A = this chain, B = another copy of it.
């Protein structure tokens, strides 16, 4: 912004005919004669004065705006978690600024760097990190000095190589529980709509699911696991691919509700009914899946709480020696998208 003339504290002081120091004190609620205070306040209002946040920060005042970085604000999962963050932040009189990287590591680093440069009191990272050594190093290089400088960082479902305070959904256990639920319904032949393998979320959910099946003597055919981006269209395409390969599964597990939504559409476009022809299950329990037809069976994560707890973590100092990890369990919610086999 081309700084044309800005009203400064000096202008206010002059208008109120007091010293700069007095003006500053009056504006910041320190002890000043009521009469002087009024004069200063009036002058400030009159001139539409806004303190320059930069000058103020530079002179030692501290910030009340925390930064939240997620992959994609457009994704209901992130929106819900961010909502939780904002709830707690609001209760603590903090403002929050949300950044969306659209899954671009460069941009993610840029945001962290910016937040660091602005000396934000806390940074929250939401969503799996990119499993890429270069990214990890860059991230570490940003975060380490930020933490050393007194910054607070908390993370939701983030790569574990970054040693940060974390809120971790129990992806593995949740997927395992889902496997059990589906087995109980009589299913034995499964397909999986998977996300990018580089994400720990994927490793965990897929692994938990597969292992639990294996424990029950059921093997998951590698050809029945299709990978796609964690988006609605990713789910659509993965499902379509599965269908093209000649799906012989009775049940499809989407690693993410958003992908399940795409799967619904693909199935419908192929004239297949859910759960009549194929059962579908998801993961996350984003709000909209209750309103799908049929309502989606899924592993319900306390999305809001994920954000709330992360914010709380960032707000309280870690007095212990080790990083804090809060695991949040997911719960299988059986809705109408999964049917008993043979029923």
What is A's interface to B at a CB cutoff of 8 Å?
Answer: 1-7, 48, 50-58, 60, 62-63, 65, 67, 73-74, 76, 79-80, 82-83, 86, 90, 95-100, 102, 107, 110-111, 113-114, 116-122, 141-142, 144-145, 148-152, 232, 261, 264-265, 287-288, 290-293
Contacts and interface: CB of A to CB of B under 8 A. Distances in A.
A120 to B, nearest CB: 7
Closest 5 pairs (CB-CB, A-B)? A293-B293, A53-B117, A97-B97, A54-B54, A48-B145
Given A1-B150, A291-B264, A73 B83 contact: yes
B149 A6 contact: yes
Given A48-B141, A98-B97, A54 B119 contact: yes
B144 A48 contact: yes
Q: How many copies does the complex hold?
A: 2
Contacts of A57: 54
A240 to B, nearest CB: 15
Most buried by B among A3, A52, A57: A57
26 contacts: A1-B62, A1-B151, A2-B62, A3-B149, A4-B148, A48-B141, A52-B58, A53-B114, A54-B54, A54-B58, A56-B117, A58-B58, A65-B114, A67-B97, A73-B73, A73-B83, A73-B86, A74-B76, A74-B83, A86-B100, A90-B102, A95-B110, A98-B98, A261-B288, A264-B291, A265-B290
A157 to B, nearest CB: 18
A119 B48 contact: no
A207 to B, nearest CB: 29
Contacts of A141: 48
